[in-house]
Structure formats: structure tokens, C-alpha cells
Structure 1
């Protein structure tokens, strides 16, 4: 498996969040989850993240998270880097998830800034130092706004990164993400290897122009995000923008329905049998379903997406 500096240096490009697939009864569908992972790898993703918000991690028990982290590391078997989601309500649990990721071969642990240290930078520093030292893998600070996170001011994020050697990455979730990526990159300097954006790749071209080293979207159109990034890196900016504009209606719909939209697309693409979600959120009504089918058909009609005949 990839470890140490080699793994860290490869955290670039398209790094989708792997969803947790469930059966109709709400149990974890390991076969379906592995099938989606293989699709992500075959699509050319540079790395994969599990569990993130799009994995419905806050609906998983501790045992489920630990078990699935180990299984995903085993399934990947060193083919691409794994970023383990280690955010938790306590430092003890965050350490456990980060160590499980390390044992599974993860290159880094993505961790939300803890609420209990929102106004306590020394406490925040100790929190990340201890997790890094006890897990032995690099840390990616997830700086998300409320209600998910605390929306840590960028000068404080930079100061934290400069104080903790193990913090090598930041996923900046607050908007406007492009401006914040520029500002954080300038403030943090060489103390960070990379800054990434969030928001499901809805602002990804602006983020890349500003120096973001990759993107961490949901996984349902991984091959299109990979092609988009490859064209951008190769200097074919117009083609990258064309792909971005063609996928934006679907990504805008995904902003409303999140994991439900991701699973609806995966099901229509024949990758999963059941689109059950545990997490709360709006369901698609019959008009939404018609719109989703139309958007997918348009992408298929111009040769950007493969769909089974029944879709």
C-alpha cells in the first residue's frame, strides 16, 4: 500500500467521496460499495475519500466506520491513495478513525476542525498534533462553515498549519471558495502541500485557476471530472470549461439532493441495486426524477456518459 512521502505526493487530481451503499433494509451493501469503488478507480480517479459527508458518515456506527475503512483499504490494495475521513465528536474517536485509516494504508486523514476548540488555537494545535503523532499519517484539515464545521478564519488556519508539521493539506469548504483558496495558499506558503476545494466541483474551474491541486466531488460522474482535470492540466482550458458547463446542471441538482442524487445516478447507471439513504434530506419527486432522467440522457446523447438501455 502507499505510505509516507510517496503517498502524500500523489494527493492531486480528482479524489471522489465514496458513498456507503445500503440495501433496502438499511444495512450496508458491501458488494455495492465495492462495485462503486471499482468504477471510481476504473474512471481514473487519483485517490478516493471514505467516509465523507457524501458517505453519510454521521449515520454510520463506530464499528461500521472502522470495519468499512479496513475493507476499503483491502479492496484498493495500493492501487490509488485512500484519504480516510476521521472527523468525530471526540478526539479519542478521531484518533481511532485516523489509526484505522493508517492500518488500511491511507495517505492522509481528513478531519473537521473541532467545535470545542473554536476559539482556542493552542487547544486546536494540540488536538491535531496528538492525532498526527498517534496515527502516523498526514492530516488534511477540513475547514467547513457552520453547521457542519466552525468556519475557522483563514489566518488561523494558516497559523495552525504552520504550527503542526503533520498538517499537509486543507480542504477549504467555505464560500467563495476560489478567493479563500488563493488567500490561504498565500498565507500558509510552503507549510501546506496543497489546498483543495469542496462544494461538489460546482466551482472547480475557478478553484483550479487559483492553484487548487485537485477536487473532491461526489462520485457519480467521476470519469467526466477526470477528463475535465486532464484537459485543464494539459492546457486545454476551453475543453475543460466545455465539460464543466455540460455537467453543471447535474451538479446544481446534486447541491439540493446530495446523497440521494448521487445514488439515483449510480442506480440509473447500473452500478448499484438500491438507492436507499440513511441520512435526512429531501427526496426526489416525479418532476425531479423526470428532470434527472433528462439531464442524464443529454449527457449520454453527446457521448459523455454511458447509460444502460433501460435508463
Structure 2
């Protein structure tokens, strides 16, 4: 298996719905148009910020097909295949390979905490199902068991296709460093998560990129480009300006992501299937708009927000 240079901003593609909560395929294509125009370095479908667990199996397959068809050959395409049991995750992984995805990503078994043996069985089954590189996603919450750096190193050592990690557990920056130290050359890269809120610290530990939601993909790309250019002053300026919106995202979750995409003219509806978050009220929308005003010079002119 050839080594892959997965580096930069790999956005989690939001799954748009109509106002009556049906999958909006045209809006999904427009979302991809926006992400590609923003200069992202990769795209990820059916992950947590895609509301992947709120899609039917048929919708997950269809969304994966749309994303692959639109982005294949332009940037690497990763399909999230997370599921409560590896039987279903394997089916999603095989479908991803059949349609031409470049890699798959999975959480540990979801819904309930799992033993290390169960976690290993889960990832080994996915790894054996296809020849695609496997991204191990390590996250706190979401019903999955957070993985220690040591267990991740064992998975990488025992599963030939386990080549990447998305790290967003309790202390992600330090864990990034521990994973890189323990895995060495067996691992091709570790990406951050948590909307990029800890990216600047993660860079000090050798992170190869981050996987944020896509509503401000162009701003995240500007941040990463400054980091890669070693322009610390510009990178810190962008990061500090970006943090207020990321804080709102941490609080409001999916409703904030979709409200921003709607305000920017990317999607027509901010409908959300995921439960557990409050919708933005008029004050929250006004605050988000004010923050976007501060970021407007970093946004694509065709996708500046609409008040």
C-alpha cells in the first residue's frame, strides 16, 4: 500500500436537509462546491458533523456516492463508516471502496462503552474488509469508548490498513504527541478535531491537519496556509478571530453550523435532525453574523454571509 500525504484541512461535509427533513441532494452538491472552492485539502462524509447517525443506511450510501462523484480526483475523499457493530461498519466500508472512496474512518463501537478486545475486533474487521486506508477516530463522548494512545499504537501495529488517526479526546494536543511517539513511521498522520479549537497547540506536537465542520472551510484553509508558511503572526491573528465562532459551535453544535451555511448562501435550509442542541434565536444569529463580519476578509467573495 502506497503512503498517502493526507495533510491540511479535511472538512466534515454537512448533510443538508429540506425543511421537512428530507436529504437535499442538490444542496449537498452545492456544499461540496463551496468546500472545493475554499481550497480544502480533503473531504469527509457521513461523520459526526454530517449527522451520519441520523441518516438511514440508504441515505448514508447515497450521500457517500454524491460526495465521491463530486470530489473524487480533486481531493482525497474519506467516508465515515462508524456503527454500533462492525457487521454494519464493514458493509459501509465495502460500499465506500466500491464507489471509489480514498479511505474510511470509524469510531470504536458506538452506543455503549466497549472493552479493548471488542475495540480491536471492531477495527480489525473493518481493516480486513477493504484495502482502503483506515482512519481511527478517537473522541470523548458519542457513546464510544475513548482510546488510550497505547491502544491506538496496538491497533496501528496489528492492522496494516490503520494508517491515520483523528484525535479529539480529552486532551487532544498531548495525545497527538503521544500517538506520534508510540506509532512512529507505522502511522502516516494524525489529524485533530474539536472544530480546530486546539489546532495551534496540536501543531507543536506534529499534527498533520485537522477535520473541522465545513461552514467556515475557507477560514480554516487560510489558517492552515499561514501555519504551513510558518507565518505565526498571521496564523495567530486568524486563530484568535476564529475562536468566538468555534466557541458558539461548541455551544450550539449542528444548528450553528447549518445556520452559518444558510447565511452564506450555501444551503437553503438549516433543518437539523440531530437532537440535544437549542436552535439559534435572534440574538444568537445576530452574534454569529457579527463574528462573520470580523472574518469577512478571509471568506470567499461568492460566499460572504447574508444578514
Same fold (TM over 0.5): yes
Check 1:117–1:173 CA distance in 2 against 1; reply closer, same or farther (3 A cut): same
What's the counterpart of residue 296 of structure 1?
292
Check 1:132–1:309 CA distance in 2 against 1; reply closer, same or farther (3 A cut): closer
- How far is the alpha carbon of 1:107 from its aligned partner? 1.7
Equivalent pair of 1:117/1:124 in contact (CA under 8 Å): no
- How far is the alpha carbon of 1:10 from its aligned partner? 3.1
Distance 1:80 1:224 in 2: 18
- How far is the alpha carbon of 1:148 from its aligned partner? 3.6
Equivalent pair of 2:96/2:104 in contact (CA under 8 Å): yes
Deviations 1:154-199 (A, max 9, x none): 2111112111111001111112211111111111112211111110
- How far is the alpha carbon of 1:117 from its aligned partner? 8.0
- How far is the alpha carbon of 1:127 from its aligned partner? 2.9
Distance 1:147 1:102 in 2: 25
Matched, 1:118 2:107: no
Q: Which blocks of at least 5 consecutive residues in structure 1 are unaligned?
A: none
State the SS of the aligned residue for 2:12: coil
Mapping for residues 1-311 of structure 1, pairs under 5 Å: 5=2, 9-114=4-109, 118-121=114-117, 123-280=118-275, 281-300=277-296, 303-305=297-299, 306=301, 310-311=306-307
- How far is the alpha carbon of 1:152 from its aligned partner? 1.6
TM-score after normalising by structure 1: 0.93
TM-score after normalising by structure 2: 0.94
Check 1:147–1:308 CA distance in 2 against 1; reply closer, same or farther (3 A cut): closer
Deviations 1:184-227 (A, max 9, x none): 11111122111111100111111112100000001111111111
Equivalent pair of 1:125/1:163 in contact (CA under 8 Å): no
Equivalent pair of 1:112/1:142 in contact (CA under 8 Å): yes
- How far is the alpha carbon of 1:114 from its aligned partner? 1.9
- How far is the alpha carbon of 1:259 from its aligned partner? 1.4
Equivalent pair of 1:125/1:164 in contact (CA under 8 Å): no
Segment drifting more, 208-217 vs 112-121: 112-121
Check 1:237–1:308 CA distance in 2 against 1; reply closer, same or farther (3 A cut): closer
- How far is the alpha carbon of 1:310 from its aligned partner? 4.5
State the SS of the aligned residue for 1:21: coil
Deviations 1:2-38 (A, max 9, x none): xx63xx5132100000010000110011111110111
Check 1:309–1:71 CA distance in 2 against 1; reply closer, same or farther (3 A cut): closer
Deviations 1:35-66 (A, max 9, x none): 01111011111100001111111110011101
Distance 1:135 1:258 in 2: 33
Check 1:81–1:309 CA distance in 2 against 1; reply closer, same or farther (3 A cut): closer
Output the aligned Cα RMSD.
1.7
State the SS of the aligned residue for 2:74: coil
Distance 1:85 1:272 in 2: 22
Distance 1:193 1:277 in 2: 35
Check 1:213–1:184 CA distance in 2 against 1; reply closer, same or farther (3 A cut): same
